[in-house]
């Protein structure tokens, strides 16, 4: 354990030399102590934050608590579903993070004792903290859609947390007969990755177009509008005419119940029997957020936009999908950007200094086809207690761009995944 980065001998030598100063007063102790930070969740938000903290101030002791030894990334998992990529390319381990002076504990955090400032792990092991970062991502709301249980997800995959679910959906598409109906149910806002369902529909269409051209995709949506909508709709017309049908809320798109025994999705207007059903259900901040009392009645965690400190729990900071980050969407890009800003604020707070106002960026690339990329971008800053879009900045790729620009953005999308996973896990 390399908690203090000072060998015992060095420590003794130096403390003897300054023995006269040992009667130091209490406030000075607080100023001089570098502090202990525990990060719960080693995804895009948590792993980034742990590393950024160590880089800013190597003397801060950083412990990362992560439930799993291997991380499976969701960005580009739609390519896996469409047979364009293998799941292995999505998987990362924590070796490099462990090698950078961060203690990684592979156990789920089950509870947090906020009075004792201690994270309780499953085997009753405890990790004390001065400041806690919660970055646990999402959970499915298993009570959010009638009929959609964990067992139902084995027949009607959500594939909204990458891994087995991703492979299950891919396998179902591969074994579907030509002419089959693929139904995707998209949830109301907010949810992880707002353009994700539509990128998924696009890449499944890309697969069906050549392999099973008589098939169709029906998107049943609980919304009347979605991210990059006009770009997606225009591209579908161009690339996949008559292959994808989108049914918005106002046309009866909202799925009210599902029946896994018949693979049927029911809306207020009728029922659809699917050959392959991809149910993207309502979501909430992962369980631990509610356990510690950092989530409000929406299921997500309100935060201060400068420090990311929970508005409900002192000394607990929430980043990534679990947080309510104002105008920022729930994306890996945003999670990474928030994590770095949060690390800067934590380093300042632990040093007894005032955190600076951050400025954040989000960019979500989507692939409509492997060589056709589009993006939505935003710049954010704290305003009126919220992370707010900087006016005049951001927006989506131009509607009238030539195919060469779409090709460029597809290249940048691939490059982005490499940059970000290198920064987080490399």
Ligand X SMILES: Cc1cc2nc3c(=O)[nH]c(=O)nc-3n(C[C@H](O)[C@H](O)[C@H](O)COP(=O)(O)OP(=O)(O)OC[C@H]3O[C@@H](n4cnc5c(N)ncnc54)[C@H](O)[C@@H]3O)c2cc1C
Which C-beta is closer to ligand HEC: that of 149 or that of 407? 407
How far is C-alpha 91 from the geometric centre of its chain's CA atoms?
15
State how far the Cα of 176 lies from the Cα of 261, in Å rounded to an integer: 17
The answer to whether 125 contacts another protein (rule: CB under 8 A) is no
How far is C-alpha 369 from the geometric centre of its chain's CA atoms?
23
> Computed from CA positions of residues 396, 401, 404, 406, in that sequence, does the dihedral angle turn out positive or negative?
positive
Residues in region 116-175 near ligand X by CB under 6 A? 135-137, 160
State how far the Cα of 79 lies from the Cα of 170, in Å rounded to an integer: 10
**Is 39 in a helix, a strand, or coil?**
strand
Neighbour-count burial for 32-63, b at 16+ CB within 10 Å, e otherwise: eebbbbbbbbbbbbbbbbbbbbbeebebbbbb
How far is the first Cα of the chain from the last one, in angstroms, to the nearest whole number? 21
Q: Give the per-residue contact string, 359-398, with another protein (x = CB under 8 A; - = no).
A: xxx-x-----------x-xxx-x--------x-xxxx-x-
Closest C-alpha to 90, from 7, 167, 172: 167
The answer to whether 68 contacts ligand HEC (rule: CB under 6 A) is no
**Is 211 in a helix, a strand, or coil?**
helix
Residues in region 96-115 near another protein by CB under 8 A? none
* Interface stretch with another protein, choices 53-61, 112-120, 151-159, 182-190 (CB under 8 A): 53-61
The answer to whether 109 contacts ligand X (rule: CB under 6 A) is yes
Give the residue, chosen from 80, 112, 203, 288, that forms a contact with ligand X under the rule CB under 6 A: 288
Give the residue, chosen from 203, 275, 332, 345, that forms a contact with ligand X under the rule CB under 6 A: 332
Structure tokens at 52: 């950024």
CA dihedral angle for residue 129, residue 131, residue 137, residue 138, rounded to 10 degrees: 90
Give the residue, chosen from 54, 131, 330, 340, that forms a contact with ligand X under the rule CB under 6 A: 330
State how far the Cα of 100 lies from the Cα of 60, in Å rounded to an integer: 12
Which C-beta is closer to another protein: that of 169 or that of 374? 374
State how far the Cα of 253 lies from the Cα of 221, in Å rounded to an integer: 5
Q: Which residue is nearest to ligand HEC (CB)?
A: 363
**Is 254 in a helix, a strand, or coil?**
coil
Give the residue, chosen from 63, 71, 219, 295, that forms a contact with ligand X under the rule CB under 6 A: 71
When CB distances are held under 5 to 8 angstroms depending on the partner's kind, the choice from ligand HEC, ligand X, another protein, none that residue 422 binds is: another protein
The answer to whether 179 contacts another protein (rule: CB under 8 A) is no
The answer to whether 44 contacts ligand X (rule: CB under 6 A) is yes
Which C-beta is closer to another protein: that of 167 or that of 405? 405
Residues in region 356-415 near ligand X by CB under 6 A? 364-365
Binding residues for ligand X (CB under 6 A): 40-46, 65-68, 71, 74-75, 77-78, 108-109, 135-137, 160, 192-193, 196, 286, 288, 320-322, 330-333, 335, 364-365
């Amino acid at each position: 354990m390399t908690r203090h980065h000072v060998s015992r001998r060095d420590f003794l030598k130096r403390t003897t030399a300054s023995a006269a100063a040992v009667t130091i007063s209490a406030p000075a102790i607080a100023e001089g102590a570098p502090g202990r930070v525990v990060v719960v969740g080693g995804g895009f938000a948590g792993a980034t934050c742990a590393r950024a903290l160590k880089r800013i101030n190597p003397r801060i002791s950083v412990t990362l608590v992560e439930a799993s030894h291997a991380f499976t990334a969701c960005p580009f998992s739609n390519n896996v579903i469409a047979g364009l990529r293998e799941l292995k390319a999505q998987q990362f381990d924590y070796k490099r993070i462990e090698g950078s002076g961060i203690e990684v504990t592979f156990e789920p955090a089950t509870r947090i004792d906020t009075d004792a400032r201690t994270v309780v792990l499953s085997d009753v092991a405890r990790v004390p903290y001065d400041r806690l970062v919660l970055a646990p991502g999402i959970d499915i709301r298993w009570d959010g859609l009638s009929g959609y249980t964990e067992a139902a997800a084995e027949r009607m995959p959500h594939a909204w947390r990458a891994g087995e679910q991703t492979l299950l959906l891919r396998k179902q598409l591969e074994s579907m007969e030509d002419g089959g109906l693929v139904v995707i149910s998209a949830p109301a806002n907010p949810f992880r990755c707002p353009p994700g369902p539509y990128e998924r529909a696009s890449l499944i269409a890309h697969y069906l177009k050549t392999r099973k051209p008589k098939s169709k995709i029906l998107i049943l949506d609980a919304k009347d509008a979605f991210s990059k909508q006009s770009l997606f709709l225009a591209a579908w017309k161009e690339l996949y005419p008559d292959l994808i049908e989108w049914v918005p809320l106002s046309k009866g798109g909202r799925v009210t119940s599902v029946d896994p025994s018949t693979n049927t999705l029911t809306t207020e207007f009728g029922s659809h029997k699917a050959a392959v059903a991809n149910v993207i259900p309502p979501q909430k901040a992962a369980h631990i957020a509610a356990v510690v009392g950092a989530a409000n009645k929406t299921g997500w965690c309100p935060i201060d936009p400068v420090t990311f400190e929970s508005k409900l729990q002192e000394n607990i900071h929430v980043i990534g999908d679990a947080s309510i980050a104002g105008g920022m969407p729930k994306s890996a890009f945003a999670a990474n950007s928030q994590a770095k800003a949060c690390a800067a604020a934590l380093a300042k707070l632990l040093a007894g200094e005032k955190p600076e106002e951050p400025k954040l960026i989000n960019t979500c690339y989507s692939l409509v086809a492997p060589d056709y990329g589009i993006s939505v971008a935003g710049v954010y800053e704290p305003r009126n207690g919220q992370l707010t879009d900087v006016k005049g900045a951001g927006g989506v790729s131009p509607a009238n761009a030539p195919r060469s620009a779409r090709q460029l953005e597809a290249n940048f999308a691939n490059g982005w995944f490499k940059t970000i996973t290198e920064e987080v896990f490399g």
